[in-house]
Structure 1
Amino acid sequence: MTDTATKIKFPYRYDVVGSLLRTQALKDAHEKFKKGDITADQLQQVQHDETRKIVKKQVELGLKDVTDGEFNRSWWHLDFLWGLTGVGHYDYHQSYKFHGSKTRTDNADLVGRIAYNPDHPFFDSFKFLKSITPDGVTPKQTIPSPSMLFRDNRSDNWSKFYTSWEAYLDDLATAYHQTIQHFYDLGCRYIQLDDTTWAFLITKLNETADDKDEHQRYVQMAEDAVQVINQLLKGLPDDLTVTTHICRGNFKSTYLFSGSYDDVADYLGQLNYDGLFLEYDNQRSGSFAPLDRIWNGNKNKRIVLGLITSKSPELEDEDQIINRIKEAEEKVPLDNLALSTQCGFASTEEGNKLTEDQQWDKLSLVKRIAEKVWGA
């Protein structure tokens, strides 16, 4: 994963993070399915019809890569995790702690040894996306990072199935490696691992600074995340681009975490990803000071600046965004920078508080600014 000519085209100068607002037709179909008014096949047909529409719209906007909007899932992370062998579905009985809003209480936990599932439903979803993506445009697949299984009690049962934590981490890395390899075999050349763990760790490492033992717990979590991620990336095909999106939480335009990347910058700099999407749409994200440590001098890696918010409809001032890109250039060469929204528009099916037209306006703004900066 080192060939500059092959790798540097991804992420694109203007890129799409992943999720898109669910259309009203898709929402209506889900309600009908829950009531038993339509079958699973009928629901999938609506999903496919609506996915065709949003892929067509992304292409019309001139995006060079497109996603299925995550129309095949309810949660950005849980639907994928439930599809792995050894992961079950249970009621957490707690809402995830978003500021000013409550989520549903679904969660995932270990019910056996973690393994690759050749029948994971996301494979069929990708095959459909690829089949409707026109030549010259790249279908982009998004999945959650394996580090998402470290959190929110999801790995509490590990000792029931493993003699050591290391053995569990090895299985997790192997399951992910095989899953990503299968996406590649299906024609995927661009995959993104979404991850709220690093923003969680920013908060926890700060909160526990005066408690040595508790602090070490989160240091270990960061080290485990680096180990598993780099292990799963090892040996993947050279023409496959794997990026990550470092998310701070995205539910009904609210958020989970705040704080500078400074406390996790050195860990992020160790990750062997081809690109990192970083949220930088407001003061909660801190300054650009840690960017050089995150980029870590890797000329084959792009830092995607999430300077355009997906949480509100107001369009950012183009000149201000261009000035911020110039500020970031003091830390990372312009050739290794790109632009996106700070997150997707609907990390869960509920979606953020803006309209579909406003969503497309945001993505158009990303493209317009990138063309001014890079001529791309």
Structure 2
Amino acid sequence: MLSKVSSFTKPFHSPFRNDIVGSFLRPARLKKARQQFAEDQLTATGLKKVEDELIIDLIKKEEDVGLQAVTDGEFRRSWYHLDFFWGLQGIKKIQTAGWQLHDGTRARGEGAELTGPLGGRNHPFIEHFEFMKDHISTGIEVKQTLPSPALFLTQLEFPNVIDKTKQIYPTEDALIKAIAQAYDEVLADFYKHGAKIVQFDDSAWSNLIAAKIVDHHTNNYNEFTLSELNTLKQKLLKVNNLTIAGAPDGLIINAHICRGNYKSNWAYSGSYANIADPLFTQEKINAFYLEYDSEHDGGFDVLKKISTDKWVVLGLLTSKNGKLEEKEKIMQRIEDASHYFNLDHLCLSPQCGFASSEEGNILTEEQQWAKLRLIKSITAEIWG
């Protein structure tokens, strides 16, 4: 069993030993305010006041539990991804059938569609970041979570919107370049305002993990051929790496590789083996946040594919339910992972956010914080 190893290097930047993915359960007061705003019973100013107060309270709770990089819990968003897309130039909000989950149910049906050339100027998330920066304590960093460029690419190539996409960008290469340019405009703006850490939440790879994709019209799963799988992997890698290459020097960019997270449900399961090459071998990312909360998520052997200069954040505690994991079992799993990837470059977090959409997962706020306290206790015992 692992014991405290004080000689190991402590991360001086993101990721930190005890970390988070980003989203937190929305307090009842926030849910009520958002409902009132939707029903024209509360002004935008009134809603922002509630958000501001609850985010300030959240920051204090994050700091108290020992986090060195904090988020706003995505309290100003409805989704982990769509709100960012809707804030770009050339995008509008649309209604969809909703993506299918592993048990056949569907998520709330909203999406994004192209209306014109893409742009990332004056994104509303910049103001959200500024608010965070004004309310954190000295020595604490803000982690800005964003959906990945690869996820945006897949959104714009969904069957229900691809015809509109091709009207603006007739070739996929032109679309990929436009996405990277729009993202880099946003990233440059974040950096100019003092951002040091950006995390790409990337569920675009989830169907490739299982080597199959759901047909949202028939609810049947279609298997990828090897050629199709390789083509899809390369285009996701291309748009992510092109964006990273154009990002400001000095901006830390990490990635959370997600299998889907909606009201304690998910879209796909399986080992990372199908995507380890090229994702782990070629993506120019600083750290991978990986989901390992279930026996269905595969083994740690694929970690050998990741270069030793990168960091791996093990998502060993589930955000899908409130049952508190056993400390000894989590420490044993970290030891198991260390056989394949240097313990000095491992960190610990929940497997995903607690509320990738505003509905949130099925657990209580106290259970949420108990998991983070456990993570802090484990990392202190192993790394000091």
Partner-residue secondary structure (3-state), 1:367: helix
Which ranges in structure 1 are unaligned for 5 or more consecutive residues?
Answer: none
- Deviation of the 1:268 alpha carbon: 1.4
Q: Is the 8 A contact 2:308 2:341 kept in 1?
A: no
1:177 alignment counterpart: 184
Partner-residue secondary structure (3-state), 1:50: helix
- Deviation of the 1:261 alpha carbon: 0.3
2:371 alignment counterpart: 362
- Deviation of the 1:72 alpha carbon: 0.8
- Structural RMSD (CA): 1.9
Select 1:67's aligned residue among 45, 64, 71.
71
Distance in structure 2 (CA, Å) of the matches to 1:274 and 1:28: 38
1:280 alignment counterpart: 292
Distance of aligned partners of 1:230 and 1:6 in 2 relative to their CA distance in 1, 3 Å threshold: farther
- Deviation of the 1:129 alpha carbon: 0.9
Number of paired residues?
A: 364
* 1:52 correspondence with 2:61: no
Partner-residue secondary structure (3-state), 1:27: helix
- Deviation of the 1:221 alpha carbon: 2.0
The one-letter code matched in structure 1 to 2:174 is: A
1:333 alignment counterpart: 342
1:161-184 deviations in Å (ceiling 9; x for gaps) = 124211111111111122111111
The one-letter code matched in structure 2 to 1:161 is: I
Partner-residue secondary structure (3-state), 2:323: coil
2:268 alignment counterpart: 257
* 1:27 correspondence with 2:31: yes
Q: Counterparts of 1:69-148 in structure 2 under 5 Å?
A: 69-99=73-103, 101-116=105-120, 118-148=121-151
Distance of aligned partners of 1:95 and 1:196 in 2 relative to their CA distance in 1, 3 Å threshold: closer
The one-letter code matched in structure 2 to 1:28 is: K
Q: Is the 8 A contact 1:313 1:359 kept in 2?
A: yes
Q: Which runs of 4+ in 1 moved over 4 A?
A: 5-8, 205-209
* 1:247 correspondence with 2:258: yes
Q: Is the 8 A contact 1:142 1:191 kept in 2?
A: yes
Q: Is the 8 A contact 1:96 1:105 kept in 2?
A: no
Distance in structure 1 (CA, Å) of the matches to 2:17 and 2:249: 21
Q: Is the 8 A contact 1:98 1:251 kept in 2?
A: no
2:230 alignment counterpart: 219
Q: Is the 8 A contact 2:210 2:274 kept in 1?
A: no
- Deviation of the 1:205 alpha carbon: 5.1
Which ranges in structure 2 are unaligned for 5 or more consecutive residues?
Answer: 1-8, 214-220
Distance in structure 1 (CA, Å) of the matches to 2:345 and 2:376: 17
1:33-86 deviations in Å (ceiling 9; x for gaps) = 122111011001100000011111011111111100000100111010111112
Q: Is the 8 A contact 2:211 2:274 kept in 1?
A: no
Distance of aligned partners of 1:368 and 1:155 in 2 relative to their CA distance in 1, 3 Å threshold: farther
- Deviation of the 1:8 alpha carbon: 5.7
- Deviation of the 1:101 alpha carbon: 4.3
Distance in structure 1 (CA, Å) of the matches to 2:21 and 2:231: 28
* 1:160 correspondence with 2:170: no
Distance of aligned partners of 1:90 and 1:237 in 2 relative to their CA distance in 1, 3 Å threshold: closer
* 1:298 correspondence with 2:308: yes
- Deviation of the 1:216 alpha carbon: 2.8
Higher mean Cα deviation, 250-259 or 97-106? 97-106
2:382 alignment counterpart: 373
1:208-266 deviations in Å (ceiling 9; x for gaps) = 66x64xx4333222111111111111153443211010111111111111111001001
- TM-score, structure 2 length as denominator? 0.90
Distance in structure 2 (CA, Å) of the matches to 1:352 and 1:203: 23
Distance in structure 1 (CA, Å) of the matches to 2:149 and 2:99: 21
